[in-house]
Structure 1
Amino acid sequence: MPFDRPSLKDLINRSVADIESRLDGADASLRRMLLNILAKMQAGSVHGLYGYLDWIALQGMPDTAETEQLERWASIWGKNRKSASKASGTAIFTGTSGSVIPANTYLKRNDGFEYETMAEAVITDGSAIVSIEAVQAGVESNTSVGAVLRLPSPVAGIQSTAIASELAGGTDVESDDDLRGRLLARIRQAPHGGATFDYVQWALDVPGVTRAWAYPRELGDGTVTVRIMTDGLTIDGIPAAESVAAVQSYIDNVRPVTAEVIAVAPVAVPMNPQINLTPNTAPVRAAVTAELSDLLRREAIPGATILVSHLREAISIAMGETDHALQTPANNITHSTGQIAVLGTITWGDL
């Protein structure tokens, strides 16, 4: 039988009744009288204690524990919160040949986010490719190819702007929900020294990895193919080579010695819906896009079929949508081995 926590009003009534049962002729229910004040003070204190006991009860189980206690539970089971990481890549500088770009030279994105060069470089034949890294960690540090980075302070012989490659690898600190998910998976599926789910858990332990799947014997006896996604780390969630290499390295250190593990990125198959929408406004389009992205994160797995009925449902539950017609796709979308659906370009129209 669950414990029913008494309300503050019930506790006050109990205190009033308790006082009156011990003092003949006393009336502790009269407002602003000393006995009534004492009853309310006692009830308030007890109510606070009940609240603390409620909180303690939640911390006593890993599926309801809050941040500090959740991290302690996770550490007991060998899981640590993934820390934030910084995006890195290269940028192309132009300038006078022979000019030097010092290490730790700062660059700024148009929104003010800062990067710095990782090593000294010299302009050769008018340009130089320089390794750079974000100053602060987080998903915000990721930058698409072609972004313009500016030098806040001039460098002799160097143009004031540089062009970035794709700057990837930036991740936020792992959320409580994601950490809790990994912890519960570890509790429910104890390591089996190389079971299929062991490879999934090992891949998810790598910073930036949000989804993972393992396919035993896909490339022959003794092989395990591990596919991963890095949602939020790259635009479509398909992992960069660095993320795949990190998973490969991590699993190689924990896998059974007899297993040959191949970490790979799924092959992206863009889904390009054509949607007639009512009302066809920017906020509703944004809500529909968010719902479709969430659907694909939940249901898109390598080789899976995306049901057109689920696409229609996702559009229907978008905030502000009153009606729509999904022109394409008209049928379920199937994928072959290794292929995964990602959201491509949405074409909008009026209904």
Structure 2
Amino acid sequence: MSNNGIPRLSVSEVAQIVDLAYEDSGSDLLALGVGQAKAFHSVDQEVGRLFANHMSNLSREAFPWSAVHTAPEWGALFNTFLKDSSCASGPVILYGVDGVSIQLNTVVQIGVVQYRVTAEKTIVGGEVSLDVIALSPGLSGNFVEGTVVNLATPVAGVDASGIVGPGGLVGGADTEELVPFRDRTVASLRVAPGGGNDDDYVRWALEVPGVTRAWTDAHGNGDGTVVVRFMMDETYADGIPTEADEQTVLNYLRRHWDDSLGRFIGYPVHMDGKVYAWAPVAKPLNFQISGLDPVTEAVKSAISAQLKDLIRREGAPGAEIHPSWCWEAISLATGERKHVLTFPTDPFTTQRGEIATFGGVSYAAT
């Protein structure tokens, strides 16, 4: 077995497999009264099938757009690396008696997700804002401002519960999945690094955990500036990043470690102060459908899933969503037989800094 998980068989191993197949399957077939020729023929078929599958696996691994076991090696070849999972962090507010200190590494939790306090602070005016970070990485650590948070262990003089502070707990991301990683690898193959060209900015933004889409806007905030707008579709319901996410991406664009080069890279020094990482402004698209058949929750759920996928594929700052694309997406929903799309009837357009988001679907009987 090779390091990447693909079997590499020696000649002696192949011979051993064939011998065992004849001894086992051939003997079993002969014991059932099957003729010797037919028994050996059946074994030959099975051996042929096994080797055909093996060759199919090898051919799949031969290309970066289809590789599974060797996908990380293909990515590294084109300076693309799997995004690790990351821990959510942010402020929480606890309440209690003035003068009581909340110690470093005090644990708070939301459901089963736990966080530790990263710096000791003292309650003043009945409350204290604490910076916390999740103990485990993943999307499950992200929560919006105002979510109730509880102390894992009681602390004298401190209320048992508090809330998530301004900006929320953000930045948690799961390990990148295979398909988007391969897409980034192929994109890197198609474009050459240019020391800060548009492709570099997009590629760098997509390397940040949680970022799923990114675009550049040359001179987007004045002459000589570059605005990088990005989305985090797996992190937030509408995909719109927070201010904390904007700062994280900007820091990465400015300077980050490149494993293949063994040094820090980023946008050119003369661009400092001229590069911006911004979240697009959401422009919800509220679909209206009449005459749906059949009218079931399963069909409605399938329609919503297809329309969300459409918006994610086609949505971009300054782009259009055409009604014909919506008709097609709805028709692809499992169980849908017929419908009439009553909105949008014209292309749904977004301006330079806007992006279409899913606003829901309303249904009429006729």
TM (norm. structure 2) is 0.79
Paired position in structure 1 for 2:148? 148
Q: Which of residues 147, 165, 187 in structure 2 aligns to 1:185?
A: 187
Paired position in structure 1 for 2:283? 269
Paired position in structure 1 for 2:348? 333
2:93 match: secondary structure: strand
CA distance in 1 between partners of 2:236 and 2:86 (Å): 13
What amino acid is the match of 1:65?
A
Structure 1 residue 31, shift from structure 2 partner? 5.0
Paired position in structure 2 for 1:24? none
CA RMSD of aligned residues (A): 2.6
2:72 match: secondary structure: helix
Structure 1 residue 314, shift from structure 2 partner? 2.3
Structure 2 gap segments, 5+ residues each: 1-17, 19-29, 256-265
Q: Does 1:231 align with 2:233?
A: yes
Structure 1 residue 138, shift from structure 2 partner? 1.2
Paired position in structure 2 for 1:255? 267
Residue 162 and residue 324 in structure 1: after superposition, are their counterparts in 2 closer, same or farther (change >3 A)? farther
CA distance in 2 between partners of 1:39 and 1:157 (Å): 81
Q: Does 1:290 align with 2:302?
A: no
Kept in 2: contact 1:306–1:334 (CA 8 A): yes
Paired position in structure 2 for 1:91? 92
Q: Which of residues 324, 328, 334 in structure 1 aligns to 2:339?
A: 324
Q: Which moved more, 1:184-193 or 1:149-158?
A: 149-158
CA distance in 2 between partners of 1:92 and 1:318 (Å): 44
1:233 match: secondary structure: coil
Paired position in structure 2 for 1:5? none
Structure 1 residue 313, shift from structure 2 partner? 2.8
Structure 1 residue 349, shift from structure 2 partner? 4.1
Structure 1 residue 219, shift from structure 2 partner? 3.7
Structure 1 residue 200, shift from structure 2 partner? 1.5
Structure 1 residue 212, shift from structure 2 partner? 0.9
Structure 1 residue 183, shift from structure 2 partner? 0.8
CA distance in 2 between partners of 1:151 and 1:314 (Å): 46
Give a deviation string over 1:61-96, Cα, whole Å, max 9, x none: 212211x31101111221110001111112221122
Structure 1 residue 289, shift from structure 2 partner? 2.0
Give a deviation string over 1:92-129, Cα, whole Å, max 9, x none: 2112222232232223323x222232222322222111
Residue 96 and residue 320 in structure 1: after superposition, are their counterparts in 2 closer, same or farther (change >3 A)? farther
Structure 1 residue 187, shift from structure 2 partner? 0.9
Kept in 2: contact 1:146–1:164 (CA 8 A): yes
Structure 1 residue 278, shift from structure 2 partner? 4.2
- Corresponding residue pairs, total: 323
Give a deviation string over 1:283-340, Cα, whole Å, max 9, x none: 3332222222111111110011222232233233222333434444443222221111
Paired position in structure 1 for 2:314? 299
Structure 1 residue 252, shift from structure 2 partner? 2.4
Paired position in structure 1 for 2:59? 57
CA distance in 2 between partners of 1:137 and 1:329 (Å): 40
CA distance in 2 between partners of 1:274 and 1:100 (Å): 54
CA distance in 1 between partners of 2:289 and 2:147 (Å): 30
Structure 1 gap segments, 5+ residues each: 1-14, 16-27
Structure 1 residue 348, shift from structure 2 partner? 4.1
- 1:1-351 counterparts in 2 under 5 A? 32-34=34-36, 36-66=38-68, 68-110=69-111, 112-165=112-165, 166-253=168-255, 254-259=266-271, 260-276=274-290, 277-351=292-366
